[in-house]
Amino acid sequence: MSLEDYERHFDSLNSDLGGGSVVSERSAASTFNVGEEEKLHYIPIRILGRGAFGEATLYRRTEDNSLVVWKEVDLNSLSEKERRDVMNEISILSILEHKNIIAYFNHFIDKNTLLIELEYCNGEKLFPALLPRFDPDNVVVWYLYQIASAVAHIHKAGILHRDIKTLNIFLTKTDLIKLGDYGLAKKLDSEFSMAETCVGTPYYMSPELCQGAKYNFKSDIWAMGCVLSEVLTLTRTFDATNPLNLCVKIVQGNWTMEVNADVYSSALIKLVYECLDQDPAKRPTADHILELPFISCCRQELEERVTLLNLAMKKPKLSTVTETPVAVVTTRSREVYFWGGGKFTPQKIDAFKGGSSAQHVCAGESHFAVVTVEKELYTWANVQGGTKMVGQLGHGDQSSYRQPKKVEKLQGKAIRQVACGADFTACVTDEDQMYMFGSDYYGCIGVEGEMGMEVLEPVLLEFFEERPVRQVSCGDNHVVVLTQNGEIYSWGCGEYGTYAAVVHFNMWLKM
C-alpha cells in the first residue's frame, strides 16, 4: 500500500496529542495527492516503545474511533537479512487470524519507511502483570488456555514462532491475551520439518537450540514451559550471568526455582515438567495441552469468555472498497478546560495529553470525570463552601482531590462511557458492565442501601450482568440505562416530574 508524502510529526508526539477534542481542537493534516481514492485518517497519540528495527506508536483512526499500533521501520537502517525478517513478519501476520493473536490490519510503505498497522492491546505485557493474585490456579489456567490456543493455531498453519516469551505476550485491560512479534517466525512445510537457524531470546531457548541441533514445533513448547514456570514462580526459569552459563543450565535442566506445590495444583506443576523435558519428543503439543482435564473441563466456558472479550474490543472496520486506501496522518491537539465554582475564566487542565488525552467528559455538581483514549477513568473535584465529598470520585475516601486522579479501583477495566449525577458517578465498560459510586441517598447507586448512604469506591451492578449496558445517562438524582437489547431502566428520585410521577424509587423501573 502506498503512502505518498508521509510526514511524521515527531515534535507533536511530545505535546498534547489525540483525536476529537473535548472542548477545543486544532489540526494540521499532512498533504496527499490521492485523487478519488478512499482515505483513512489517523491521529498519533503516543510512542509506545522502541525496538531494534524502529518504534511502535499508538494512533487513533478517526473513521471508527478505534486505536491501532503502527510499527514503524526505517528500511535504510536494516541489512538485507533484517529486511527479509520484517517482510517475513508481514507475510506471517497476514495469514494468521485468531482471537489470541495480535491482528494485522494493513501495511504502508513511504519511501524508506515501512509502517505495519496492528491491533492495540490496552493493558500491558505479561511480564509486568506477573503478580500474586487471588485464586491463582484459575488465573493461570485462563492465561495458559489463551497462550496454548494461539500456539496451536500458528502450529496448525505450519508456523514456528521461535520467540515466545513473556514480553511478546500482550494483555488487554480485561486480561485477554494476544501473542505477538512474529519477526523471527518461520514457515515449516510439515509437522515433521526441522529448522536449523539459531534465533530467539536466550532465556527461553530450548536445549536443542543451545546445542545447535535441528528443532521443530516442540521448541515453542519449551518456551511455553518457561513462560508457565515464570508465571508460577515470578522468576525466570533459567538465569545466568553470561550466555555460556545460561546454555549449560538449560541443557542440564538446572531451574532457578521450583514451583511451590502449596500454592499451585499438581496438574499445573506436572505440565511445567512435561514442557521442559530435555527430549523434544516427550513434550506435549499445544493441542494436547488444551485437552488436559483441568483445561478441557472448562474449555467451552473459557472459549466463550475469549469470544465475549474480543467482541467488546473496538476494532478498526475493514475497508469495503476495492481501491487501495490511502493513510492520512493528522496532528491534532486536544485540550480540556473547566470553569465554575468561583472560576469565571476556563482553566486548562494539563494532565490530559498524549496517552491520557480525553475522549469523554462529564460534570456533576462539584466533581468532574474524564475517560481517556486509553479507556481509563479520572475524577477530581472543585469544592466550594465546605461541601462534603460522599464518594463520587471513587477513590475509596472522602478527600476532595483538586487534580485529576485515576480511579485505581477500576484498574484492568476498559471504561467506555461515564456519566455524573449531582453527587454520584456511573460508568460503563467495554464488557457492557456498569459500575457506580457516590451518594446513595436517593437510591441512585442501585444497591438498595446495602452499602450505606456513601459508596466510596466503584461497585458492580449485578442486576445488569445479564442485561448488557449500551449507555447510561444521569440527572441530578436519577439514572437511566439503555441496554444492548433496547430496554430502558431508570431509578432514583422521581420528584418534579422526573418520571411523570412524584415517587422515590429504590428498585429498578423498566420503562
The residues annotated with a catalytic role in the active site are: 163
- The distance of Cα 61 from the centroid of its chain, to the nearest Å, equals 16
Q: What is the DSSP letter of 238?
A: S
Distance CA 23, CA 268 (A): 52
Nearest CA to 196 out of 208, 213, 172 is that of 213
Q: Which amino acid, residue 264?
A: Y
Distance CA 149, CA 140 (A): 14
Q: Are 56 and 69 in contact (CB under 8 A)?
A: yes
* Sequence-separated (6 or more) residues with CB below 8 Å from residue 382: 338, 340, 341, 343, 366, 367, 368, 402
Distance CA 450, CA 507 (A): 12
Concatenate the DSSP letters of all residues of 329-340 into one string. EEEEEEEEEEEE
Nearest CA to 15 out of 347, 338, 352 is that of 352
Q: Pairing mode, if any, of strands 424-429 and 415-420?
A: antiparallel
Q: Quick count: other Cβ atoms within 10 Å of Cβ 287?
A: 13
Residue with cell 475564566: 345
